[in-house]
Amino acid sequence: ASGSESKNMAAGGWIQAGNPNEHAGLDFMMRMGKDITLDVYAHLYLSDDDNSFGLYGAYFWNFYLKAVPADLGRMGFYVGPTAGLGLWDVEYFVDAALANDRYWWRGEFGFAIRFGVTGGFQWEFPVIPLQLYIELSPVGEFQYISWEDEHYLGTRRIDYREDSDIHWALPEFYLRVGVRFWF
């Protein structure tokens, strides 16, 4: 056995599908009791025209499978509430290099307050204190988005629009796969 069940903290990383601004991030988990864990995870993505940040937390109840032999490690399911905050700032061109050198530029800023329930499957390896997990998070998001649209002819701006929108995104689904090292 790896002894990961006797360790209280884990750190790792994850990749995610379901949100174009959140591809990967870091994960920190703490055991709060025999079958209770607290998970804090974050992502930071910086590039020339696409920046985003998110910080989230979850409280999990863990249900380990007793029928799995100890030499295969420890496997089980978990479920619990999750919440967090995400921010993004994106700039891009739309219809660039069209006839007559006309194009649109768009800048978008937004934030989302997220809440939901996360469930997943975890496998703590038998020899090393490593855990592999896969989880599905159906969440609701309160989103605020502000954007600017500029229409150009060559280098001359010929039109400008600015607007904002507040809405609920229900439901959003995120699929995460990750690994944690227990210490």
How confident is the model over 72-107, as pLDDT tens digits? 989 999 999 999 999 999 887 766 555 566 677 788
Q: What pLDDT score was predicted for residue 121?
A: 98
Rounded-to-integer distance, Cα 115 and Cα 54, Å: 13
> Quick check: helix, strand or coil at residue 159?
strand
Contact 165, 142 (CB under 8 A): no
Dihedrals φ, ψ of 68, to 5°? -80, 125
Rounded-to-integer distance, Cα 117 and Cα 81, Å: 4
Rounded-to-integer distance, Cα 66 and Cα 64, Å: 6
**Structure tokens, 179:** 């690994």
Quickly tell me which residue has 């997943």 as its tokens. Answer: 120
Distant-in-sequence, close-in-space partners of 15: CB < 8 Å, separation ≥ 6:
23, 24, 176, 177, 178
Per-residue pLDDT band at 155 (split at 50, 70, 90): confident
CA distances 37 to 33, 107, 149, Å, are: 7, 39, 45
Flag whether pLDDT at 157 surpasses 90.
no
